[in-house]
Structure 1
Amino acid sequence: MSQPEASLTDRLWALTSDPVRLRRVSIVLALLFAAILAADTILAEGRVNMRGEHLGGDFLAFHTAGEMVLEGSALDAWDATSFETALQIREPAIEWYGLTWQYPPAAYFLVTPFALLPYKLSYWLWMLAGLVVFWCCFRVSFEGNLPGKTAPLLILASPIILVTLVQGQNTLFFGGLLMIAAALPDRRPLLAGLAAAALTIKPQLGLLIPVAYLFGGHWKAFGYAATFSLVLSGIATLAFGLESWSAFFDAITRVENDMAGGGALYPFNRIISLYGALGALGVPHAIALSIHLLTVLGLAALVALVWRSDLPLQAKAALLIPATLLCSPYAYYYEMVPMLFSVAVMISMIGTRNLNAAERWWLMLSWPLVLYLPMIQGAVPVQFGFVITASLVALVARSVMSASAAASAPAY
């Protein structure tokens, strides 16, 4: 008797759940990416690549800001016109960059050392440093108990990592810190507190950490985070002056005004929050922001409820990370990097055999879909980044609630 033909779901699941196949796909993808990026860097003339775009994506903004610090013009980086002028001086081949600098003063401590090196070398060191930091943070977050032997390849060669490298973004650094801050406040409160304090450099990635620490009773980690945040801010103030904070808040106000006017500099199709999803659909700014803020309150309540429970801390962290990403109205798609921790926790907790059909489809589609977000978002109204992030919150919440209910059920 012949076997029934496998369905599309079964075929896709066999492809995406087989460790050997995933390892091979990861190796091929990583090698192909490295070869393309190496050729792009080598053949670039100055800071302009073969496609006539600036090499390194947003890293150009980080490197330029660091150079402005070394030149003694750190305050000018927060002014959009002055920053564009600085970019044009360094590479006039591109008519308009549209890059801006809106990080707090302490961010200069990260980017300035890279400005000491030539641009191309600095860009590659930036990428390698980001990969090392992220992988080390991932390992530490799991305390060495990684979910599977293929984890290094599946994590470091995942599409969202590659997209982040192409963009030259800093999310590998701060995504790693978010994993540490979320996963270790009980066992390593000092390390978690330091990580949470460092996240004040990219504050949108730490919005729900105080809620988690307070309702989870992690007072040591909370105290360390508050103390080192004040120390970091104080050192930055001494280095760049009180006026640096005024310039920083002016830059933030400029971002808000741009978004309210339709997102000329910060397009909605790259933003994964509910605010971005509503903005892409044409919902007016005030209404979209109000709905977003109500959602943030709901996410904070969910995090508080879960972190008050007796669930394993890894499960709590797995929920905290995607919920945090949804809180910032201006979170970009490349900030989805730390969600790899949540996916790994979900799989290791409940096992792939116990996933229902919806969860299987999510795992099959979310891993590769992120690679194409920048290219497909302009053609469709649905914000895939928001769908993926929100669905992960729902899946983890469902999993941890089910585990909690099972643990509290009376035995017969």
Structure 2
Amino acid sequence: MTDENARAMASIPKNTADIASADPRSGFWHRAVRSGDWFTWDRIGFACLCSAIGFAAGLIWMLAIPNTYGAPNGTLLMDYLSFWLAGGQALNGTPELAYVPVEFAAIQKDFTGADTVFGFFYPPTFQLLQGGFALLPYKAAFATFIVLTTGMLCLACRMITGAWLLAVCLILVPACANNAFHGQNAALTAALYGFFLVGIERQKMILAGVALGLLTIKPQLGILVPVALIASGNWRTFLSASVTTLVVAGASVAVLGAGVWLVFWQQAPVAAAMMELGGVEWGKMVSVYGGLRLLGLAHGSAMVVQVVVGLAAAVCVWRAWRRSEAMAVRSAVLVGGALLVTPFALSYDLTLLVVPCAYLIRDGLKSGFLPYEKAVLALVIVLSASTSPLAVWLGLPVAPLLPLLVIWLGLRRMDQAPRPLAGIDDPAQTSAIAG
């Protein structure tokens, strides 16, 4: 075991006996909820082991064994199919067909023999990236994309926490598994968010801007970033991100042609109409808008509330990035706000919450957790892949509560200094991880 992993493990009680010896007077409520001492390494390790086994078994079942997600010809009908076929159109010299719904639906039906189709609403910069994966057979491309992007997120978590053990634990949370099984890109966008925030923290402003410029493959997740950069006066990052965006967009024009961008913008009303009319199930969204539509509100009323929540999130981001330099504060408020401000975010996008969780856990292990902080983090992590079933099956749109809780954790750390609690945060253990 490496020194970094040993230090990480040393700061958390090994088992329930350690908790009792640390503070025999503490009751269950104090241990499990207020102090969070219930979260011992034996329980965390067991949960991560089960998650890893389920993660691997699920991907093997999806990619190697005929299953209910397969088309009549055996093609896996998951979100990644649209990415791979869009990349294939780039290779074929007809990239614009990915942005013509009727044409793209016909391409998918010809390939799968099924009526299930997936839209492709990403900019040509993301299509250009998928062109490389389209050189591989479909299932090989699926597996490669998930392994590479999840590995990038693991690296970002390692850069944040300083420990590979914690990084591996973080990529085994339910949200990451949900993203992997869909073949989606949330691990990629979360990794780019992580690299951006690490760059800011380490004063590598140009590199932070490069990561941010690449994040424009999913532009709705970066709406509040300019607010953060202006509030903190990070003009070099702002300039670097702008240049990177132009360079990446220029590369897509050079390779795919300028016409594909025109077709992409012409398709934008289709994406808006799908959201408004329920073409994407509202229960599968994590936005305030999706939750309100599920509860029966009309489009106009839901959008008004969505805008109000977005403005409130922008104020929180401005306040956090203006007043604090602590990344546990900045990351929590910015990433949580990013998920609240956009009306179009789906369940797998909750993978982004891994990044602020990494910062909060790192700082909690170093300087102590606030009361109830570990319990709230555990709640966010456990529910990160359960919001869609709760919404679709029970009509409970709880998803917006998760980024809201993360914002609350960030703002709370800005206003309150953490103080050590019994057990996990005693002075000897705190000095062990710091040293």
TM-score range normalised by the length of the shorter chain: 0.7 to 0.9
Q: Does 1:355 align with 2:355?
A: no
TM-score by length of 2: 0.83
Once the 2 structures are TM-superposed, how far is the Cα of residue 115 of structure 1 from its aligned partner?
Answer: 0.7
Q: Does 1:298 align with 2:312?
A: yes
Matches within 5 A, 1:192-203: 192-203=208-219
**In terms of mean alpha carbon deviation, does 368-377 or 170-179 score higher?**
368-377
Q: Classify 1:313/1:128 alpha carbon distance in 2 versus 1 (closer, same or farther; 3 Å).
A: same
Once the 2 structures are TM-superposed, how far is the Cα of residue 150 of structure 1 from its aligned partner?
Answer: 3.7
Once the 2 structures are TM-superposed, how far is the Cα of residue 403 of structure 1 from its aligned partner?
Answer: 4.0
Matches within 5 A, 1:229-378: 229-261=245-277, 263=278, 265-350=279-364, 354-357=369-372, 359-378=373-392
Q: Classify 1:54/1:403 alpha carbon distance in 2 versus 1 (closer, same or farther; 3 Å).
A: farther
Q: SS where residue 274 of structure 2 aligns?
A: helix
Q: Is the 8 A contact 1:43 1:50 kept in 2?
A: no
Q: SS where residue 338 of structure 1 aligns?
A: helix
**In terms of mean alpha carbon deviation, does 245-254 or 110-119 score higher?**
245-254
Matches within 5 A, 1:144-223: 145-146=162-163, 150-185=165-200, 187-223=203-239
Q: 1:186-223: CA deviations, max 9, x gaps?
A: 51112110111011111012111111111111111111
TM-score by length of 1: 0.87
Match of 1:135 in 2: 154
Cα separation, 2, equivalents of 1:113 and 1:32: 29
Match of 1:30 in 2: 52
Q: SS where residue 382 of structure 1 aligns?
A: coil
Q: Classify 1:120/1:176 alpha carbon distance in 2 versus 1 (closer, same or farther; 3 Å).
A: same
Uncovered stretches (5+) of structure 2, i.e. residues with no partner = 1-23, 419-435
- The residue identity in structure 1 corresponding to 2:325 is L
Cα separation, 1, equivalents of 2:117 and 2:309: 31
Q: Is the 8 A contact 1:319 1:397 kept in 2?
A: yes
Once the 2 structures are TM-superposed, how far is the Cα of residue 307 of structure 1 from its aligned partner?
Answer: 0.9
Q: Does 1:71 align with 2:87?
A: no
Between Structure 1 and Structure 2, how many residues are aligned? 392
Q: Is the 8 A contact 2:390 2:397 kept in 1?
A: no
Q: Is the 8 A contact 1:259 1:285 kept in 2?
A: no
Q: SS where residue 134 of structure 2 aligns?
A: helix
- The residue identity in structure 1 corresponding to 2:262 is S
Q: Does 1:83 align with 2:104?
A: yes
C-alpha RMSD over aligned residues: 2.7
Cα separation, 1, equivalents of 2:135 and 2:65: 22
Q: Is the 8 A contact 2:93 2:256 kept in 1?
A: no
Q: Does 1:386 align with 2:400?
A: yes
Q: Is the 8 A contact 1:106 1:233 kept in 2?
A: yes
- The residue identity in structure 1 corresponding to 2:62 is D
**In terms of mean alpha carbon deviation, does 150-159 or 82-91 score higher?**
150-159
Cα separation, 1, equivalents of 2:50 and 2:174: 12
- The residue identity in structure 1 corresponding to 2:170 is I
Q: Classify 1:381/1:24 alpha carbon distance in 2 versus 1 (closer, same or farther; 3 Å).
A: same
Once the 2 structures are TM-superposed, how far is the Cα of residue 236 of structure 1 from its aligned partner?
Answer: 1.6
Q: Classify 1:50/1:87 alpha carbon distance in 2 versus 1 (closer, same or farther; 3 Å).
A: closer
Q: 1:106-164: CA deviations, max 9, x gaps?
A: 11221111111111211111111111111112223x2x634xx7413321211111111
Q: Classify 1:332/1:53 alpha carbon distance in 2 versus 1 (closer, same or farther; 3 Å).
A: farther
Q: Is the 8 A contact 2:69 2:77 kept in 1?
A: no
Q: Is the 8 A contact 1:56 1:166 kept in 2?
A: no
Q: Classify 1:74/1:51 alpha carbon distance in 2 versus 1 (closer, same or farther; 3 Å).
A: closer
Cα separation, 2, equivalents of 1:250 and 1:53: 33
Cα separation, 2, equivalents of 1:198 and 1:163: 23
Cα separation, 2, equivalents of 1:227 and 1:216: 19
Once the 2 structures are TM-superposed, how far is the Cα of residue 314 of structure 1 from its aligned partner?
Answer: 4.1
Query: Which structure ranks higher in relative contact order (CA pairs < 8 Å, sequence separation ≥ 6)?
Result: 2
Q: Is the 8 A contact 1:178 1:205 kept in 2?
A: no
Once the 2 structures are TM-superposed, how far is the Cα of residue 14 of structure 1 from its aligned partner?
Answer: 6.7
Match of 1:408 in 2: none
Match of 2:79 in 1: 58
